[in-house]
Homo-oligomer: A and B are copies of this chain.
């Protein structure tokens, strides 16, 4: 093991992060990863604690519905949603308000799958006095009056629209943002697919709705690409052909990602006109009109709906790199690295023990762990793992999990306070003083957020 000089970084942070994020190796694009890149991705997701083990992930993922996430996947999902909220709120158009509406809806719209009141249904099924025809009629009535699960987040925003008119002085444009579950029956199986959506419903002047659709498509594509992607070109936007548009939608765009199994839609942007808004408010124009210059108009609606479960898989796939590397003996081997952006990487640092008195080292690790947790740095307590792994195996494991830094505490740390810090992105190992590492991580994370 080679010692490096203690590094006190005084260069500007942006440069510093860029350096760490630099790619030193010849990389191979993801689609050529393996004979079956989809399986490889899934396997890494499971082994890296992103997805919970389960038989039906493959189908669910390809259908774009949510599945059970493990600790790292849950953290990644939370981060991605947080980033989405931040981007929507920070966008130049400051008139975006967050809302939260109900998932189970009593609107009698007949949309979405009904949730049955089992007790009443059983009463009907047990009522001997009913003829078959009467029974059928009663069941149909019960279904019509049932609560049903929403199939998108649009309807909630349309309903809330009029409540927030006063807040914006009836001035256009403004938007209502929401994140949450929506449900769709899965093809053929009769069971339900759920996915977490991030939705922005944008109310604007009819004159400018087309420009706004372009504006949001540009902004959203930029977000998917620029913010976290390693290979931005895998994200792209497309016009939706007329025959694929929903009823009432005059123009549509979509943002797609090129998965190994084909292109899938991450986000739909529809220009919906004013029909649904009018319908939601009983056709009463006076209740929903807004000022457009000096005129009063019924606004047009643009809906922007991102499937965040699919988004997570897109980033997982996008950040997976196969690196070819020569070891000391010039033998070629492959390194799989999940190069998730530092902001999204669910684990910022792993703590492990090297050689030395286990008891003492464990104490040092425990202290550092608590220090990191208190500072809000997400940390992996690798030192608690008693499986004996070589340093090489540890690095492989953490690279596949996308852990940004690995810190190893050993007997030298007890002597001199120095510990080894290895970066996922450069594979460089440096020694840092134990009193500096928290500050180092915080600066690194903050710089990544500001990039």
> Can you list 6 contacts pairing A with B, beta carbon distance less than 8 Å?
A68-B100, A75-B98, A90-B374, A104-B183, A132-B132, A171-B384
Residues of B within 8 A of A183 (CB): 104, 115
CB of A202 to closest CB in B, whole Å: 15
| Stretch of A187-195, A238-246, A269-277, A298-306 on the interface side | A187-195
Give the number of residues in A that approach B within 8 Å (Cβ atoms): 78
Q: Are B68 and A101 in contact (CB under 8 A)?
A: yes
Closest residue of chain B to A131 (Cβ to Cβ) is: B132
Q: Are A99 and B74 in contact (CB under 8 A)?
A: yes
A interface with B by C-beta (< 8 Å): 49, 52-53, 66-71, 73-75, 77-78, 85-86, 89-90, 92, 94-95, 97-104, 106, 113-121, 125, 131-132, 135-136, 139-140, 143, 145-147, 149, 156, 160, 163-164, 167-169, 171, 178, 181, 183, 185, 190-192, 194, 369-370, 373-374, 376, 378, 381, 384-387
Residues of B within 8 A of A181 (CB): 103, 181
Q: Are B376 and A86 in contact (CB under 8 A)?
A: yes
Q: Are B125 and A190 in contact (CB under 8 A)?
A: no
- Please indicate which of the listed interface residues A75, A116, A139 has the most CB atoms of chain B within 10 Å of its own CB: A116
Q: Are B70 and A163 in contact (CB under 8 A)?
A: yes
Partner of A52, one of B71, B99, B119, B145: B99
Q: Are B113 and A140 in contact (CB under 8 A)?
A: no
User: How distant is the Cα of A167 from the Cα of B71 in the complex, in angstroms?
Assistant: 10
